[in-house]
Copies of this chain bind each other. A is one copy, B any other.
Amino acid sequence: MGLYLTIELFEIVTFKFKNMKALVYHGPGNKAWEEKPKPVLMEPTDAVVKIFKTTICGTDLHIMKGDVPTVTDGRIIGHEGIGIIEEIGTAVSNFKVGDHVLISCITSCGKCEYCKKAMYSHCENGGWILGNTIDGCQAEYVRIPYADNSLYPIPEGSDEEALVMLSDILPTGFECGVLNGKVKPGDTVAIVGVGPIGLATLLTAQFFTPAEIIVIDQDDNRLAVAKTFGATQVINSTKENALDKVMLLTQNKGVDTAIEAVGIAATFELCEAIVTAGGHIANIGVHGKSVTLHLETLWSHNVTITTRLVDTVSTPMLFKTVQSKKLDPNQLITHHFKLDQIVDAYETFENAAQEKALKVILTQEA
């Protein structure tokens, strides 16, 4: 063991002069595309991945505003992407150097109490750590702990760009919104908020063939996109009373499943108001404040309310739907940049409404 550590040290020494470029957080409002040491293997269960393609998440914008206190100055941001394995730890057996892989936004050790319950989001050794408490994917290279359980193999011939959408937003929309919301054939579903996550929910809700999908947002462009993605009704809540309209569309019954994909009190309370007796409210939004739960009416309405940080347990299932062309994640991609243009990409993504931006793809040239 002593000798083994010496090899590790040797590697660190060898590589320490190797640098790379990465997007680094330097406190609220400050970020830079700058030099950082290239990551090295730290545990036998690690892999180092060279990033081919990554993207920016709404959560990254929150980080940049300083809303996520676990992210500290100097952190490389980003928890999505695909790439190629550059180095591999001795205890990793599912992958080898040269394999193309999808990076999950959730790191899973595969052996703690939560991982054994398939609740990887709460992994005692992982969870959402990439681009949060350890360096992330908006970089030329990234170290992935517990590679066997946190990476997915990409078969040759795959549309790798599309697969970037499987790092986070598709499993998030599907698990937190669709699965937790128990969407069933013939159901009426409402999705409140159709940013990228809401749209990912809209796409994957259709795996279960609901009869109606009512989409509510404040942005006409996003609503227009939602229509092309399969929404059967769209409501611009700045122009119509969303509650009244949903009740009109549902003959005053309300919806079987109301999915909250914004993260504020008003939209959650709209879900409370539109859910039918026996229905489901599935929260996806990241909330900064508490909301009012109207138990004075809901106590007898036989409703179920769920919250969830994505576990990414559905990633293999989603892979199969993409491979078999049941799901086309490319629909979610509107803009392309080179990886070293990431600061520009952030600007586009921050002005999503004007830019009509959904997801941006950042590509590192080979």
Contacts and interface: CB of A to CB of B under 8 A. Distances in A.
Interface stretch (A23-31, A112-120, A343-351): A112-120
Interface stretch (A217-225, A241-249, A293-301): A293-301
A306 interface: yes
Contact of A298 (B148, B307, B317): B307
A201 to B, nearest CB: 14
Contacts of A7: 1, 3-4
Given A44-B91, A211-B324, A291-B295, A119 B278 contact: yes
A14 interface: no
A186 B319 contact: yes
A202 to B, nearest CB: 14
Nearest to A264: B295
A302 B1 contact: no
Contacts of A90: 1, 4, 44, 91
A119 B232 CA distance: 28
Nearest to A321: B186
A287 B300 CA distance: 9
Contact of A149 (B110, B286, B307): B110
Contact of A207 (B209, B283, B294, B299): B209
B94 A91 contact: no
Given A122-B278, A292-B290, A318 B91 contact: no
Contacts of A21: none
A321 B114 CA distance: 19
A319 B116 CA distance: 15
A305 interface: yes
Interface string A266-291: 00100000000110000101111111
A58 interface: no
Contacts of A187: 320
B304 A305 contact: yes
Contact of A300 (B121, B206, B268): B121
Contacts of A206: 209
Contacts of A94: 111-112
Contact of A296 (B116, B287, B309): B287
A323 interface: yes
Contacts of A324: 186, 211-212, 232
Contacts of A125: 93
Contact of A148 (B111, B308, B311, B326): B111
A179 to B, nearest CB: 10
A110 B295 CA distance: 28
Interface in A116-138: 116-119, 121-122, 125
A66 interface: no
Given A3-B4, A91-B91, A302 B307 contact: yes
9 contacts: A4-B90, A44-B91, A111-B148, A114-B278, A119-B278, A211-B323, A288-B296, A295-B307, A305-B306
Given A232-B324, A290-B294, A302-B309, 17 more contacts: A4-B7, A44-B44, A91-B91, A93-B111, A114-B278, A116-B149, A118-B118, A119-B277, A121-B300, A185-B208, A185-B317, A186-B324, A288-B296, A291-B292, A291-B293, A300-B307, A304-B305
